[in-house]
Chains A and B, each alone.
Chain A
Amino acid sequence: MWIHPKEILIPPAFWVDEMRSKYFVLQKRRGHGESRSFTSLLVNTLDSVWDTKPPPYRILHQTPKSEVYYEIAIGLTQEEIVKDWEWLAENLFKVLNEMESEEEITNFTICKIQSLNAQNNQDESDESANFKVSASKFQTLFEMPKEERLVNTYACTYVKNKIPNQGNLYISLNHICFYSYMLGSETKRVIRFAELEDIKRHGQIIYLKTVNNMHYNFTLLKDVKEAYGLIEQLNKMAIQQLIQDPDSPIVDHDASVFQRFGRKASNKPGLLRDLTARQKSEEYRNYFRLPQTEIIDGQIKANIWTPYAKRYVGGNIYLSRNFFCFRSDVIDLVSLVIPMRNIKSVEQKNDGPHRYDNQIVLLTAENVHFVFAQIVDREVLVEKISELLSQFHVPISRERAKYDISWSKQSALMNSFKTNLSAEMLKIQEQKLSRWESHFRDFGRGISMFRTTDVINLIVEGIPDKLRQEIWLLFSGAIHEKDMNPGLYEDLVEKAACIKHSSTHDEIDRDLHRSLPEHAAFQHADGIGALRRVLQAYALRNPQVGYCQAMNIVSSVFLLFCDEDNAFWLLASLCENLLPDYYKDKVVGAQIDQSVLNELVETYLPELHSHLDQLGIIRMISLSWLLTIFISVIRYESALHIIDCFFYDGAKIIFVVSLQILEWNCEKLLKCNDDGEAMEVLSRYLDGIYNPEYRLPPQSDKQKPETQPIQTLIHEAYTNFGAKISQQKIEELRNKHRRLTIRQFDIDNENTIVKFHADNMYFDREELHLLLTIIREEKSTPRKVLQQKAHSALGGESPILLPTTATGRSAGYAENNCSRSESYSVDFDTFRALFHELTPWRNCVSIDLAEKLFRLTDKKSTGSIEFSQIINALGLVCSHKYTEKLKLLYILHLPPLLSKAEIEHVRRPKSKAKEDAEEAIEAEDFFGDDPSESIEALPSPTDNNFDEDDYALITATKHLHSLAGLSQPSSSTAGAINGERSSTFYVDLPRQHGTPMDVARSQNGASGSTSDLIDNGLRHQGRFESTDTFSDISDLGAVKVTPPQLNVETISNFSQISDLIMATRVERTDSTTDTKSLGSLRYLLDQPDDGNAPNKNIPNMKKANFQFLWRSLMEIIGEQDEDMRKAYENLLELGNNNMKKEISLDSFTQLNLGNGDEPDSNGNPTTPSVESNATTRLFQAYEEELKQNSSTGGTGSSSNSSTDVDSWEISINQFIATVLAVTSIVQCFYMKTPIKENIERMQKNRRKCVITNY
C-alpha cells in the first residue's frame, strides 16, 4: 500500500534488495522467509525487542545523486508489494526517465505518491500502516481468523521461569496473546478473555490468572493503565457474552454503532477508540440512567447556572444522539438531563459578566432556560447541538396490527382500591407533598429538573403516594424508554394475548394470585388482569428472561402506584438496567450480587461474616432480598421506602440495607448455632419492620411484634454504609464476581456430570474432569466459533451435520441431565480435534478414523454427540481392551462407514498426482509384490469434484449413481451392471449381509419412487437386492461405466443434487435408517462392558475395505514387521478361500473349522495356517485377472471375475484371530493411553499456540 512518503537517512542495513530500477528499490526485511542467517535472527530479535513493527516489504525511492531515501510503499505480502512495483513500472518509469533534474523527479514522485495515498485513504479504513502490519502479524503468528480483530499492541516483558522475554502483547477482541522472538527462540502465549479468573495490576505489572491455574506476569513500561483497562473491559464483555449466549461465547464488535459525528482526534487504532467510546458510553448511560442505545458523542467543560443557589457550578456537558446532559465536577452536587426532543432553541449569549463569557442559553419545550457559561468551543457545541437536533426524529407510534382483543389500560390501582389511612397519616402525606412541591418550584420539575443532593433527603423520607409514579419513572430512566417507544406496550399486550398455550403464560397465571395477595387490588380482577398483561408483555419483549418468579411481586407493587404501561416500563428498566441479569436463567445476576454482598459483609462486618459463613447462611437469605427488593420479606408498605431509594440509587440501597440489617442483628446472629436459628432471628426481625407513617389495618388477629421503623433502618443504613459503598465499587466487585460466578457454574456443572458418569468403565474422576475441561475449552475457542460463523454465513454446512435443534424445557430427569451435559456435547470438528490429540489412533492418516468413529457414535445423526458417548468412544480407543479395539477398528472400516465412493476418492488423487514418492513406495509395499496391484489399476469414479469431507455430496453422488443404474434399465451398460450384480446377489447370502444393504436401499428409497418400486419388487422375491452402490466395493467397473450422458443429465440439473442432499438429510432424521444400518455395528459402543458379545452381527469385509483396514493398522502401529506381513498374507488367503467356496453359512463354518486351531465363541477359527508362498501365488493370479478385467473396460464380459471380487471377504473372527497372533499388534493395542498426560499436553499446546491441522 502507498504511504505518505517519508525520508529515511539510515542506510538500509536490515533490508535486502529484491528488485531495483533506476529510481526505485524494492526491499525485504531480513528475517522474513526461510533464511536463517545470523543477521536475520538478529533483525528478528531486534524487531521483537524494539517496538518497531516494520512491514516485511517496502519500496524506496532514491535518485542516484541523493543520499536521501523516501519510503513510498510498504507491503505485508510479496504479492502486494509487487503490485505496487508493477504500477510504478507501468506509470512512472517512463515518465521519470524523460525528466531532467533529479529534484524534479523526486518532487514528481512524491507528489504522485501523496495523491495515491490520499485517494486510497478515502475509501479504506483509517488505520495507520503500522497498525495494519501488527494486525497481519497477529493473524499469522497466532493463526487467528480474519474475524478476530486486533485492538492494540503493547511492548511488554513476559517473565517465564524467571527469565524475562521482551516482546509484544497483542490484545484482540477475544484474546490476549504474547509473542517474543529472542535469537531464534520463539515464545507464544494465547489466553482467552473468557478464561481469565483474576486480573490485577501492581504498578507496571499486569498479573493474570486463568481458570486452569495458569499465572502470567506482563510488565509494560508504558500504557500500562490503558492495557489494564482494556483487559478488564474485554474480559467483562467476554463474560457478559457467556451469560448472554453460552453457545457462541465470542465477543464481536459492531463498529457501525460507533459511527460518530465527531472528528477523529487521536491516532489510536479504530477498534481501540470504539472500545473506549463504549466504556465511556456505559458510564454515561449508567450515571444519567439513559437507554442502552445511547452512545456518547462528546464531552465539553462548562459551568452551569443554578438558579436555586444563584451561582455557577463547574462541570461537563455530555452529548449523545438523544440527550444533552450535565454533571458537576463535585460528585453529586448537581446533574441535569435534557432530552433533545425537549430542546426548543440554543443561543449564544454574551451579556453576562466578563468572567462568565462564552455563554449559551438553552430553551426547553416547557419554556425553561438553562444557562451555561465558559464554554471554550462554544461555536462547535452550538453547531453540534443543532446538527443533532436536525437529525433527531421524534419517535412515532408505529402502525399496529389490529387484534381482536378488547382491553383498557388500568390506571394506578391505589386510585380504585384506596387504603384507609388515618387522618394523621393523610396529614403526613400532605406535608410530604407540599415539601416536594416547594422542591419542584426551586429545582424544576420533570425530566430536566436539577438533580441535587437535596432531592435525596426528600426521597429517603419516602415519596408521597401521589408522586411515586412520576418520581419512579424519572429516576429509573424508564421515562426515556417509554417516550422513545410509543405504542410498544399496547402492541406487546395484544400480541401476547394472541399466544395460546405458552408455558410462560401458565407460569405467570399460577403466580398472579401469589404476588401481593394481602392487597385488595390483587384480590380483584382489575389488579390481576393488569398484572397479567404487564408480565406477559414483558415476557414477549425479552424472551431471554421470559418470566421469573419475583417479577410478579415487584410488578404488583409498581401497579399500585403507576398506570399499567408505566409499570411495564419500570419493570423493563429493572430487568435491563437496574438489576442486570437478575431474572435470567439461574438468576445469574442475583447470584453475582449475592457474592458481592458476601464480600461486602466480609469487608465491613468481618466477625459476623466468619460466623455466618460457617452457617452458610448469607446465600440462603439474600436471594429474596435482592430479587424482590425486600418486598417479599418486609411488609410492602415499609418496603416501599426502600423502593423509593432504589430507583434513585440503584442496587446500592439493597447492599447498604442488607449490611445494616445484619449489623443490627449482629449479636443475636453470633449466638446462633445453626442456619435455622439464624434464619428465624432474621425473619422475626424483618417481619417486625413497620412504617409508622403508613399503618395498615392489621391483617390478622395476631399482631406481630414491631421491631424497627423502616425510616430508621434506611437512615442508619445510609449513615453507616452509604459513603463506603459507591456505585463504582459495586461495579468493580460485580466484574470480579461475574467471573467467579460463571466459573463456579462450570465447576458445579462439571462436578454433577462427573458424579453422574463416575461409574463409567474407562475414565476415573480426575480424567473425566480433565476431559470436560478440554471439551469446554475446545468448544469456546473463538477460532472455531468464528470459523463456524463464517461457514454458516456462506450457507455451507459441515459434513454430516444437521443443525442441532434447541431442546425445549427439560421435563424428565433424563432430559434434565441431557440439558446439563448438553454444553459438553461436541460437534464433529471438536471431536476430531480430541480424537487426534488424545488417542493413539491419530497416526492413522489414510483413513479419517475420527470421522468414522463420529458417525458410528452419532446415533441420531444430529451432528453432535453427548458426553456419555464421548466417554465410550474415546474411552475404548484409549483403553487396553485390545480385542474390542481391534473389533472397533474392523467395524470402522466396514461400509457404510467406509463407503466405496470414499475408497475410490481416497485412492484417486494419489494415482493422478504421483509427486509423493514415499506414498507410492508405501503403497507398493503395501499392496503386495506385484506392482500391477498399484492403485493406478483402480478405476476412478466419474468425475464429480466432490469435496473429500462433504459426505452429503458423496451421498448425493451415490444417489446419482443409483439413479443412473436404476432409472434406465434399458441402457445396456447399466443393464449389464444390474445383471452382473444380480448374479452375485441372487445367491443366498448369510443373514448379516442384510444390514449394510438396508441402508442403501432406504437411501435409494428416498431418491425416487422408481427405486422404491424396484426395491419392493426385489423384496418380494425375498432376495437381497444389489443396487446399492457402496456396499459392494469391489465392483470395480461399475462406477466407471455409468453412462456419461446420464450423469450430465442429472448433474446439469444441479438443484437436484441439493434436493437429494436434503432428501437424504430429512430422511436421516425422520426415519431410523441410519440407526438401523449402523445399529448393529454400534453394539461395541453401546454395551462396552459386554466384551464377549457374539460377533455374528458384524458383517464380513470386502477386500478393498480390508486393505484399508490393514493400512490403518500399520499406521497405528507405525511399522510392519515380518509377523504382520505374514498375517496379512494369511488373511488375503483366507479371503480367497472364502471366495472360492460357495458362499453360505455352512461353507463358512466348514472352512473355518477346517482351518481353525482354536475356535472362539462363534465357532470360528483363529489363526489359519496357510503357506505364504501359495498365498502370494494365488494373490498374483487373482491380480492378473483383475488387471485384465479392468483393462478391457471392466464391463459386460467380466461378470464372472466380478463375482469373484465381490465375494472376497473375511469375517471379523478371522480377522481378530489372525491379528491377535501377532505380538506387535497385541502389544500396541494392549497399551493404555495416558489420557491425562495427553490432555495436559493438548492444553499446553493450545496455550503456546502450537497449531495442529488434522
Chain B
Amino acid sequence: MATRKKSLLKVIILGDSSVGKTSLMNQYINKRFSNQYKATIGADFCTKEVIADDRVVTMQIWDTAGQERFQSLGVAFYRGADCCVLVYDVTSPNSFKNLDSWRDEFLIQASPRDPDHFPFVVLGNKVDMDNRQVSTRRAQQWCQSKNDMPYFETSAKDGTNVELAFQTIARNALAQEAEVELYNEFPDQIRLNTDRNNRNGNSDNCQC
C-alpha cells in the first residue's frame, strides 16, 4: 500500500427529488429528523468524523439536488468521490427505477478508474411509511445484478439502519481508497477560456 493515507472521505448522495437525501444526511450527522427542510438547490454539504477500521477519518457528505434539470450540474461535485450513495423512496417505484440512470450517470461523469468495482451503497428510504411499493426482494435483486451493491432499508425519520448504512459507506470508501490510490481526475475537459491554439501574431488561422 502506498504511503499517503487519505483522512478524508468524499461521499456523494444521489437520488430523485424528495426521496430523503437531506434528511438521511442530517439524521446521520445530527441524529435528528425534521420535516422542515427546503428542497436542496445545487448542493449541500456536511462533514463528520468517523471511526472506521480503527482509523479516524473525516467524512465529507455531499447532498445533491434531485430534480432532473439539475442532474447535469452535479458533475462538479462528483470529482474525487470515494463512495456514491444511491437513495430511493420505497413508496415511489419511479425513484427506484431511476437509480439505474443515477448510477450510470455517475459512472460516466466521474469516470472512476475501475467502474466495475466502484463502491456504491443503495438505500431504500422511508420504510417507516405504510404505503410501501417497492419490495425488498426487487431492490435486492437489482443490487445483486449490479455487482452486488450493499443494500439497506432505512428510515431517516426514526433512524432505522442509518448509522449502519453510513458505517458501511465509510468502510467501503476506505477499502476503495486502499485499492485505488488515486484515480482519474476529470479527463479531457476542454476549457474554453484558455486559448489552446497559440496563434502567432495577427495572421489568421485559416489554412486556405
Beyond A160-B206, A813-B101, 20 additional contacts (C-beta under 8 Å) are: A161-B204, A161-B206, A197-B192, A214-B206, A215-B206, A216-B206, A507-B67, A511-B18, A514-B38, A515-B39, A517-B36, A549-B39, A550-B39, A552-B39, A619-B76, A621-B42, A623-B43, A674-B8, A676-B10, A679-B45
A628 touches B41 (CB 8 A): yes
CA distance A740 to B195 in the complex (A): 13
B73 touches A591 (CB 8 A): yes
Determine how close the nearest CB of chain B comes to the CB of A1030; give it in whole angstroms.
43
Chain A residues near B75: list those with CB within 8 A: 748
CA distance A694 to B164 in the complex (A): 42
User: Known: A549-B65, A587-B73. Contact between A507 and B17, CB under 8 A?
Assistant: yes
Q: Of all chain B residues, which has the CB nearest A682?
A: B45
Tell me if B3 counts as interface (CB < 8 A to partner A): no
B97 touches A811 (CB 8 A): yes
Tell me if A1200 counts as interface (CB < 8 A to partner B): no
Chain B residues near A515: list those with CB within 8 A: 38-39
A215 touches B205 (CB 8 A): yes
**Per-residue CB proximity of A653-683 to B under 8 Å, as 1/0?**
0000000000000000000001010011001
B103-111, B152-160, B175-183: which lies at the A interface?
Answer: B103-111
Determine how close the nearest CB of chain A comes to the CB of B116; give it in whole angstroms.
14
Chain A residues near B205: list those with CB within 8 A: 213-215
CA distance A214 to B207 in the complex (A): 9
CA distance A510 to B15 in the complex (A): 14
Chain A CB within 10 Å — which of B42, B65, B192 has the most?
Answer: B42
Among A159, A632, A810, the residue within 8 A (CB) of B204 is A159
Tell me if A812 counts as interface (CB < 8 A to partner B): yes
CA distance A584 to B104 in the complex (A): 24
Q: Of all chain B residues, which has the CB nearest A621?
A: B42
A816 touches B104 (CB 8 A): yes
Sampled A-B contacts (11; CB under 8 Å): A159-B204, A160-B208, A161-B208, A213-B196, A214-B205, A549-B17, A552-B39, A586-B69, A676-B8, A679-B45, A812-B101
Among A620, A680, A812, the residue within 8 A (CB) of B77 is A620
Determine how close the nearest CB of chain B comes to the CB of A956; give it in whole angstroms.
42
CA distance A516 to B42 in the complex (A): 17
A676 touches B35 (CB 8 A): no
Q: Of all chain A residues, which has the CB nearest B72?
A: A586
Tell me if B79 counts as interface (CB < 8 A to partner A): yes
B100 touches A616 (CB 8 A): no
Chain B residues near A197: list those with CB within 8 A: 192
CA distance A751 to B188 in the complex (A): 8
Chain A CB within 10 Å — which of B39, B73, B103, B199 has the most?
Answer: B39
A752 touches B109 (CB 8 A): yes
CA distance A214 to B205 in the complex (A): 6
A550 touches B100 (CB 8 A): no
Enumerate B76-99 residues with CB–CB distance to A below 8 Å. Answer: 76-77, 79, 94, 97-98
Tell me if B68 counts as interface (CB < 8 A to partner A): yes
Tell me if B131 counts as interface (CB < 8 A to partner A): no
A683 touches B45 (CB 8 A): yes
CA distance A214 to B45 in the complex (A): 42
User: Known: A513-B35, A627-B41, A811-B97. Contact between A586 and B104, CB under 8 A?
Assistant: no
CA distance A214 to B181 in the complex (A): 41
User: Known: A623-B73, A679-B45, A1248-B208. Contact between A616 and B79, CB under 8 A?
Assistant: yes
Among B38, B69, B101, B208, the residue within 8 A (CB) of A553 is B38
Chain B residues near A585: list those with CB within 8 A: 69
B197 touches A514 (CB 8 A): no
CA distance A548 to B39 in the complex (A): 11
A215 touches B199 (CB 8 A): yes
B101 touches A816 (CB 8 A): yes
Tell me if B190 counts as interface (CB < 8 A to partner A): yes
CA distance A628 to B204 in the complex (A): 44
User: Known: A161-B203, A676-B47. Contact between A517 and B35, CB under 8 A?
Assistant: yes
Chain A residues near B104: list those with CB within 8 A: 813, 816-817
Tell me if B193 counts as interface (CB < 8 A to partner A): yes
A510 touches B17 (CB 8 A): yes
Tell me if A787 counts as interface (CB < 8 A to partner B): no
Determine how close the nearest CB of chain A comes to the CB of B108; give it in whole angstroms.
6
Chain B residues near A213: list those with CB within 8 A: 196-197, 205
B76 touches A616 (CB 8 A): yes
CA distance A926 to B75 in the complex (A): 60
Q: Interface of B with A (CB < 8 Å)?
A: 8, 10, 17-18, 35-43, 45, 47, 60, 65, 67-70, 72-73, 75-77, 79, 94, 97-98, 100-101, 103-105, 108-109, 111, 188-190, 192-193, 196-197, 199, 202-208
Chain B residues near A751: list those with CB within 8 A: 188-190
Enumerate A620-656 residues with CB–CB distance to B below 8 Å. Answer: 620-621, 623-624, 627-628, 632
Tell me if A1058 counts as interface (CB < 8 A to partner B): no
B208 touches A676 (CB 8 A): no
CA distance A15 to B103 in the complex (A): 73
Chain A CB within 10 Å — which of B67, B206, B207 has the most?
Answer: B206
**Per-residue CB proximity of A743-764 to B under 8 Å, as 1/0?**
1100110011001100000000
Q: Of all chain B residues, which has the CB nearest A1244?
A: B208
Determine how close the nearest CB of chain B comes to the CB of A658; give it in whole angstroms.
13
Chain A residues near B43: list those with CB within 8 A: 620, 623
**Per-residue CB proximity of A730-742 to B under 8 Å, as 1/0?**
0000000000100
User: Known: A160-B204, A510-B17, A811-B101. Contact between A623 and B42, CB under 8 A?
Assistant: yes
Determine how close the nearest CB of chain A comes to the CB of B99; give it in whole angstroms.
10
Determine how close the nearest CB of chain B comes to the CB of A822; give it in whole angstroms.
14
CA distance A755 to B77 in the complex (A): 19
**Per-residue CB proximity of A1218-1254 to B under 8 Å, as 1/0?**
0000000000000000000000000010011000000
Tell me if A947 counts as interface (CB < 8 A to partner B): no
User: Known: A553-B38, A624-B42. Contact between A812 and B192, CB under 8 A?
Assistant: no
User: Known: A507-B17, A511-B17. Contact between A632 and B192, CB under 8 A?
Assistant: no
Determine how close the nearest CB of chain A comes to the CB of B78; give it in whole angstroms.
11
Chain A CB within 10 Å — which of B41, B111, B190, B196 has the most?
Answer: B41
Tell me if A217 counts as interface (CB < 8 A to partner B): yes
Chain B CB within 10 Å — which of A216, A517, A811, A816 has the most?
Answer: A816
Tell me if A162 counts as interface (CB < 8 A to partner B): yes
Top 10 A-B residue pairs of the complex, sorted by shortest distance between their CB atoms: A623-B42, A517-B36, A624-B41, A510-B18, A813-B104, A624-B42, A514-B39, A215-B204, A215-B205, A679-B45
Q: Of all chain B residues, which has the CB nearest A583?
A: B69
CA distance A915 to B80 in the complex (A): 70
Chain B residues near A676: list those with CB within 8 A: 8, 10, 45, 47, 60
Tell me if A809 counts as interface (CB < 8 A to partner B): yes
CA distance A1203 to B143 in the complex (A): 62
CA distance A510 to B47 in the complex (A): 27
A162 touches B17 (CB 8 A): no
Determine how close the nearest CB of chain A comes to the CB of B198; give it in whole angstroms.
11
User: Known: A747-B190, A755-B111. Contact between A813 and B76, CB under 8 A?
Assistant: no
Chain A residues near B97: list those with CB within 8 A: 811-812
A812 touches B17 (CB 8 A): no
Tell me if A1171 counts as interface (CB < 8 A to partner B): no
User: Known: A553-B39, A585-B69, A616-B76. Contact between A514 and B199, CB under 8 A?
Assistant: no
Tell me if A1086 counts as interface (CB < 8 A to partner B): no
Q: Of all chain B residues, which has the CB nearest A205?
A: B202
CA distance A1247 to B207 in the complex (A): 11
Tell me if A1185 counts as interface (CB < 8 A to partner B): no
CA distance A810 to B68 in the complex (A): 9
User: Known: A510-B18, A623-B73. Contact between A752 and B108, CB under 8 A?
Assistant: yes
CA distance A1241 to B18 in the complex (A): 51
CA distance A389 to B18 in the complex (A): 52
B41 touches A623 (CB 8 A): yes
Tell me if A86 counts as interface (CB < 8 A to partner B): no
CA distance A550 to B105 in the complex (A): 23
B108 touches A755 (CB 8 A): yes
CA distance A683 to B47 in the complex (A): 13
Tell me if A518 counts as interface (CB < 8 A to partner B): yes
Chain A residues near B60: list those with CB within 8 A: 676
